[in-house]
Structure formats: structure tokens, C-alpha cells
Amino acid sequence: MMKLYLLGGGAEDRLDDELYWYRAEYIISFVSPWIIPKSILTSAKKAAINFHPGSPDYPGTGCYNFALYENSKKYGVTVHHMNEKVDTGNIIMTSYFDISPFESVETLKLKSMNHLLFCFEKVLSYILCNEQLPVSDESWKRKPFTRKEMFEIFEINPLKHDKSEIEKRIRASAYPSNTGAFVRVADKKFYLPYDKRKPIVE
């Protein structure tokens, strides 16, 4: 019988000490805020798997934001083996969908979560049937985006950015309950008004 060790939390929470000695068959990270240490990843007897809410074109942080900023017409999610460096491991499977011209970060995240759940069910069926995990012929298209790079596209410079660029940055950064695009004046950030309601997906 398969035993499950479930752990949830935010980026500000520390990993449970028990994970450092727990020898699991599989380690599964589902849209986790943590970067899991190599010592834990290598302790998995069969595989350490991550469910990433972005296609191989968008590894790392801010995948929704960059896809909208680049006016991508297609998006997706990626299931992959975990390496010490985030979003670089061999890909198991992907699932794609079109991006609407009216897409927002919020709706893109909602669609991604639905596709991730679909992939999770498929991967879990392989594990429960003791079958080999699929091997995708896809690979990551670029190095992982960083948080610093994400916040760079949130910043608006009225002296440098035209109307089209400003609209792109606002669209790519707006998310309910979170500050988004901002203008910097004398080293202080002034955020544009944002929707304070609870988002559809948290």
C-alpha cells in the first residue's frame, strides 16, 4: 500500500525537518513555492517530479507574466523530473492550450491549474499501476526566469515606454489582491491601482 506524506505551506515557511531523512518512493511537487534541496531530491527511490504551471518556453518564476508580456498565442504546463536547479530536469509530459486575446494572469492561471490536474491524474495512474513514466521529446527552451526579471517587466517608465508597452506591462502584472505595475520616483515605488478582491485561484 502506498503511503503519502503531504506538506503544504507558503514560501515563507520552512521545510519540515522530517523530509531530510524520509525515504520516499516519489517526491511530488505540485506548484510548490519551495526550491527543494538536492539532498531531498536524491533521496527519492524512484523519481522526484514537479508540476510546473508553464510550458517549456517559460521555466522559472513569472511564467504567466512573461507569456502575456510576450503576447504568446499558446501556453501550457510541464511535468518534469526535478534537478537541483529549478525547471531544468527531463520533461515527462506537457499539456497545451491557446491564449485568448482577452487573457489575464488570473484566467491564465485558472486554465493552467485545470491542465495540471489533468496531468496529475495521468502521472498518478502510471505510479499506481507501477508503470514507467513517459519520456517527452520536448526540452526547455531557455534558462529559468528569475524573480528579479519578473519585477523588471512590472516597472513602467513613462519617459521610455510608449502606450503599447505600458499596456503590455499592466496586463502582464495585474492580479487580484496583489500589487502589480509600478512607477519608480526617487527610488520609491508607486503602484497603479489594483483589484483588491479575492482571486479565482490562489
Identify which has the larger pLDDT, 142 or 8: 142
Residue 4 has pLDDT above 80, yes or no: no
Burial class (CB in 10 A: 0-12, 13-18, 19+), 45: exposed
Cα torsion angle, 179, 53, 84, 47, sign: positive
DSSP 11-35: TTSPPPGGGGT---SEEEEES-SS-
Domains of the chain: 17-128 (3.40.50.170), 154-191 (no CATH)
The upper half-sphere exposure of residue 22, i.e. CA atoms within 13 Å in the direction of its Cβ, equals: 14
Lowest mean pLDDT among 7-11, 64-68, 168-172: 7-11
Using an 8 Å Cβ cutoff, are 166 and 156 in contact? yes
Using an 8 Å Cβ cutoff, are 112 and 53 in contact? yes
Q: Encode pLDDT of 60-110 as tens digits.
A: 999 999 999 999 999 999 999 999 999 999 999 999 999 999 999 999 999
Q: Encode pLDDT of 109-149 as tens digits.
A: 999 999 999 999 999 999 999 999 999 999 999 999 999 99
Cα torsion angle, 158, 107, 99, 49, sign: positive
Which pLDDT belongs to residue 140?
98
Which pLDDT belongs to residue 8?
58
Percent of the chain with pLDDT over 90: 76
d(CA 172, CA 123): 31
Average pLDDT, whole number, for the chain? Answer: 91
Judge if pTM exceeds 0.85: yes
Q: Do the strands 155-156 and 91-98 form a parallel or antiparallel pair, or are they unpaired? A: unpaired
Residue 202 has pLDDT above 70, yes or no: yes
Which triple of cell numbers denotes residue 111? 486554465
